[in-house]
């Protein structure tokens, strides 16, 4: 998997994403993923979803695609800047998702979900990163270089 989302959570009623720091007796200590991070306790009454457990509905046999894979597809296709304007229309979000994941289920994936997907993508890109993907690219480049050396020898 290109990105580790096991410790990244979305909390219902709170904007942004949070990194799970450690559990407490009454909840979980989380740190906001923003320029000036803040620690707070998410209690049992807060609905918290780990991004690792979230998937996008599709119309293929699998039925869903994990969010980490969708982020990876977005990163591979667009890199750091998604083709979304400053004030995007609903169609812009639909076109983006259809471009990245053509088999997404249009009836069960709402525009509000797509807006979260774009917002979360930017937060994950800035504060979690796609490090494993970069390591895989470096390994591929090294093996290509070694192959070239072997051919020359």
Residue-range domain boundaries for the chain: 8-135
52 vs 150, higher pLDDT? 52
Share of the chain above pLDDT 70, in %: 83
Name the E strands within 24-66. 27-32, 39-43, 48-50, 55-57, 64-66
Per-residue pLDDT, averaged over 101-128, amounts to 93
Report the pLDDT value the prediction gives residue 91, as an integer from 0 to 100. Answer: 93
Per-residue pLDDT, averaged over 2-11, amounts to 85
110 vs 150, higher pLDDT? 110
Cα distance between residue 110 and residue 133, in whole Å: 29
Could you tell me which of 49, 65, 47, 44 has the C-alpha nearest to residue 8? 49
Rounded to 5 degrees, φ, ψ at 134 are -65, -40
Task: Assign a CATH topology to domain 8-135.
Answer: Arc Repressor Mutant, subunit A (1.10.10)
> pLDDT tens-digit profile of 35-93?
888 999 988 788 999 999 999 999 999 899 999 999 999 999 988 888 888 889 999 99
């Amino acid at each position: 998997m290109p990105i580790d989302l096991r410790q990244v959570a979305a909390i219902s009623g709170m904007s942004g994403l949070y990194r799970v720091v450690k559990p407490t007796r009454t909840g979980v200590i989380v740190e906001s993923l923003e320029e000036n991070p803040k620690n707070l306790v998410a209690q049992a009454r807060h609905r918290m979803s780990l991004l690792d457990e979230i998937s996008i509905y599709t119309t293929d046999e699998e039925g869903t695609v994990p969010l980490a894979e969708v982020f990876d597809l977005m990163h591979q296709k667009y890199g750091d800047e998604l083709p979304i304007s400053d004030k995007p229309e609903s169609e812009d979000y639909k076109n983006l998702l259809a471009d990245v994941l053509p088999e997404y289920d249009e009836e069960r994936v709402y525009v509000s979900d797509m807006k979260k997907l774009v917002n979360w993508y930017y937060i994950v890109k800035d504060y979690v990163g796609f490090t494993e993907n970069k390591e895989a690219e470096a390994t591929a480049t090294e093996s290509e270089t070694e192959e070239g050396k072997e051919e020359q020898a």
